[in-house]
Chain A
Amino acid sequence: MQKNIVLTYILSAVLLLTSRVSIAELMIEITQGSDSAVPIAIVPFTNKSAGAIPENINKIISGDLQRSGEFEPLPTNRMLSLPSSAKAVYYRDWRLLKQNYLLIGSVEYSKYTKSYKIQYELFDVNQQQRIIGEEVSGGEKSLRDLAHHISDAVYEAVTGVRGAFSTKIAYITLQGSPAAKAKLEYRLQVADADGRRSFTLLKTSEPIISPSWSPDGKKLAYVSFESGRPAIYTQVIKSGRRTLVSSFKGLNGAPAWSPDGKKLALTLSKDGNAEIYRLDLATKKLERYTRHYGIDTEASWSPDGHSVVFTSDRSGSPQVYRMNIYDLEPERLTFEGRYNARPRFSEDGDSLFFVHQSNGSFNIATMNLKTGNQITLTETPLDESPSLAPNDRMLIYSTQRGRKGVLAVVSVDGRSKYFLPSAFGDVREPAWSPFLR
């Protein structure tokens, strides 16, 4: 009994001492991370087939990750080895190359199914462990989709944010020039997020503006002047079927899908002045949101569908306002500069992206709605039509390059910026699709 008591005391003392030690342990606090991109080695995928692979999978993945601005892929020629399986991975090699992650994989074509099977594995070099791995397959036309899928998976595994490489973008191209008296051709086009595999959804000699994706990514709403005056259409991307939803007298513009996909916010001037309305797509019922002698336009829904932001010059210059759809009381959000327009909510609803004019140039700016902090993201002179990727990490907008309009992508932290290639002349009015799967 006494022995037990003594043991208890000793144990208590030890525990006390241990707890004291743990309290006294040095604690280093880290709140800042590296500004540089994450080093990743994407080893060329081994071709296990007899024939050549039509797409360079690792190149597509490298391109995706690099464009995000958050990854820095290692050039292939600097690699010390090209493993295609976990057994062949020597972490020490990749540590020497100061790589944090290693992506390896292989592609195999099956003649029987006429499909490609891609197997990949991602390793954390520092922790010397496999993080993710998967086997995906698809036909020849799906090879880029499979590559984007792998990019998404790697992106999410490393950043914790869903990748948006498998999404699409819609934009308007203009061929010809009124000055050259050549025939003008406006096209509504849809392409992969990397600008590849574009296809034309609508081709017309009259202007097309303001494309807007339905929340399910299956339809587009846009304004077309093909009838000689503006009208709003919706079009199913896959089938190409079009629906005229609004062709009121006067202005019909700036369609924006509500988060549930059942309504459109529109700008109509049927009552004399450009005002924001809500159109129920099923019932065709209209509800007027704004009543002001100033111009109210370019509405965009908040992700929760409870409010809309729009541009209004009711204060004398275009500024961004927010309005709760229940009390319809507009609240001005922007106060910096004389021009703030085309607002778009981030997917999390915390930020707003809009065109901001300062020092004579139009740039894309973002505002944190909680703090009111505003940051200008772009610096080219005529930036417009911002559209946010569904993961809130990238922003696409149109700008001028020479005398041509081009599409540019910038990461929301401003660290990365690139231009999208385009097969056609002027490119404008981009719209980033939501997640498609």
Chain B
Amino acid sequence: MSDPKAKQQTAGQSKIKATQAAKNLVQKSWYKLDKSYRRSIIYTSLLHGMVVLALTVGWQSKPEVKPIAMPRHINATVIDASTIDTLNKKKLEQEKKKKAAVDKKKKAAEKKKRDAKKKRDARKKKELKRKQAEKKKKAEAKKKALAKKKAAEKKKADTQKKALIKKEKEKEKERAKKKKDEQKKRDEKKRLDEKKRLDEKKKASEKKRLDELKRLKQEQQLQDMMLKAENDERLEREAERLQEQNRIEQETLRQAQIKADRVAEMNEVDRFIALIRSKITRSWHKPQGAKNGQTVVLRLNLFPTGELSNASIIKGSGDSVFDRSALSAAKSISRYPVPSDNNIFEKHFRQFSMSFSHQED
């Protein structure tokens, strides 16, 4: 009985020792690290921790899991293996880097140490040989004790091993199940994601189609508007052209009418000029003393009745007798022949000029 106990104790001690040694090694390594490395490692660890936490919380979902027969409540934390792998890999890489750095330093120190150690080793070798001889003796003694202890422990360990194997099997089984569930969950999630992606894709394509439709519709509307505007413009131009053509025709007609009116007017004017000239010629007693080329110009103002309103000389001949004869002739006519058309009268006969000249044959 004492052997297993001692064995247990020895194992506990060695375990504590190993733990302590690891702890020391970590501490030693930690403190050997540069301060900035230490900080970086802390931050990295924190960041990884937060990422792990976030992933753990974020990926919590409540998929509709149909109860499987014989459910077993297992307190497990779902961890994405790939994430862990990644993290571990990173950690390993970092550690490797750290280790490489440490190794480098270590190597340098070790080299020194080796030299010293060689000397020490030489000394220790002797010591060790002596101690080993001592130890061999102790060890042989212990070996025997240990062989017994080991046999007991082997037995116990076999038992434990069997229990452990069994437990391990169960665990393995559970893990497989868990893995299966996880796989299932992942598949489901994947399916859902795919579905969601497809939905989204579908939605997006629908949206795209709708947008396209809308765009096409807008384009169609724009085109329609443009066509309408073009058509309107064309119609407007056509209307304007027709209007212009109409205007030109009207203008041509108007001009023709004006021309005709003017011709008629001029005929009428000429007729009355002839009548007036005839009357004046009968009334004008050209002075015998008139000289060739002598000319006097009078301005006459008539009333619409043809009566003389006023007659005056606007350009004298330089001969008062000649001028007077003309003025007298103009004033001798009590009523001038004038057109009944008031427009023609106003335009031509309300006020007009009359030149009296002497031209020798």
Residues of chain A whose beta carbon lies under 8 Å from any beta carbon of chain B:
25-34, 36-38, 70, 95, 100, 124-127, 131, 156-161, 373, 393, 413
Contacts of A124 in B (CB 8 A): 324, 328
Q: Are A160 and B319 in contact (CB under 8 A)?
A: yes
Instruction: Check B43 for interface membership: any CB of A closer than 8 A.
Output: no
Complex Cα spacing A100 to B328, Å = 8
Q: Are B327 and A159 in contact (CB under 8 A)?
A: no
Q: Are A29 and B357 in contact (CB under 8 A)?
A: yes
Q: Are B280 and A161 in contact (CB under 8 A)?
A: no
Identify B285's interface contact among A28, A33, A125, A157, CB under 8 A. A33
Instruction: Check B288 for interface membership: any CB of A closer than 8 A.
Output: yes
B321-342 vs A: 1/0 string, CB under 8 Å?
1101111111110100000000
7 extra interface residue pairs, beta carbon distance < 8 Å, beyond A25-B353, A26-B352: A26-B349, A28-B353, A28-B355, A33-B285, A38-B285, A95-B332, A158-B321
Q: Are B358 and A31 in contact (CB under 8 A)?
A: yes
Question: Contacts A34-B281, A34-B282, A159-B321: A28 and B276 contacting too (C-beta < 8 A)?
Answer: yes
Identify A33's interface contact among B276, B286, B331, B348, CB under 8 A. B286
- The residue in chain B whose Cβ has the minimal distance to the Cβ of A411 is B288
Contacts of A34 in B (CB 8 A): 281-286
Closest Cβ of chain A to B330, distance in Å, is: 8
Closest Cβ of chain A to B304, distance in Å, is: 16
Contacts of B351 in A (CB 8 A): 25
Q: Are A28 and B281 in contact (CB under 8 A)?
A: no
Question: Contacts A32-B281, A161-B288: A25 and B352 contacting too (C-beta < 8 A)?
Answer: yes
Q: Are A29 and B355 in contact (CB under 8 A)?
A: yes
Residues of chain B whose beta carbon lies under 8 Å from any beta carbon of chain A:
269, 273, 276-277, 280-290, 297, 299, 319, 321-322, 324-332, 334, 348-349, 351-359, 361
Q: Are A160 and B321 in contact (CB under 8 A)?
A: yes
Contacts of A95 in B (CB 8 A): 332, 334
Contacts of A160 in B (CB 8 A): 287-290, 319, 321-322
Contacts of B297 in A (CB 8 A): 27
Question: Contacts A124-B328, A157-B321: A30 and B281 contacting too (C-beta < 8 A)?
Answer: yes
Contacts of B290 in A (CB 8 A): 160
Complex Cα spacing A280 to B338, Å = 67
Q: Are B352 and A31 in contact (CB under 8 A)?
A: no
Identify A26's interface contact among B273, B283, B286, B361, CB under 8 A. B273
Q: Are B331 and A127 in contact (CB under 8 A)?
A: yes
Q: Are B321 and A33 in contact (CB under 8 A)?
A: no
Complex Cα spacing A145 to B16, Å = 190
Question: Contacts A26-B352, A29-B355, A126-B328: A161 and B284 contacting too (C-beta < 8 A)?
Answer: no
- The residue in chain A whose Cβ has the minimal distance to the Cβ of B330 is A126
Closest Cβ of chain A to B342, distance in Å, is: 16
Closest Cβ of chain A to B88, distance in Å, is: 96
Q: Are B280 and A30 in contact (CB under 8 A)?
A: yes
Closest Cβ of chain A to B293, distance in Å, is: 11
Complex Cα spacing A158 to B329, Å = 12
Q: Are A27 and B287 in contact (CB under 8 A)?
A: no
Contacts of B319 in A (CB 8 A): 160
Contacts of A29 in B (CB 8 A): 277, 354-355, 357
- The residue in chain B whose Cβ has the minimal distance to the Cβ of A72 is B285
Question: Contacts A160-B289, A160-B322: A100 and B332 contacting too (C-beta < 8 A)?
Answer: yes
Complex Cα spacing A74 to B289, Å = 23
Q: Are A33 and B284 in contact (CB under 8 A)?
A: yes
Contacts of A161 in B (CB 8 A): 287-289
**Could you list some 17 contacts between A and B, CB below 8 A?**
A26-B349, A27-B352, A28-B273, A28-B352, A28-B354, A29-B357, A30-B277, A30-B284, A30-B357, A95-B334, A124-B324, A124-B328, A125-B332, A126-B328, A126-B332, A160-B319, A160-B322
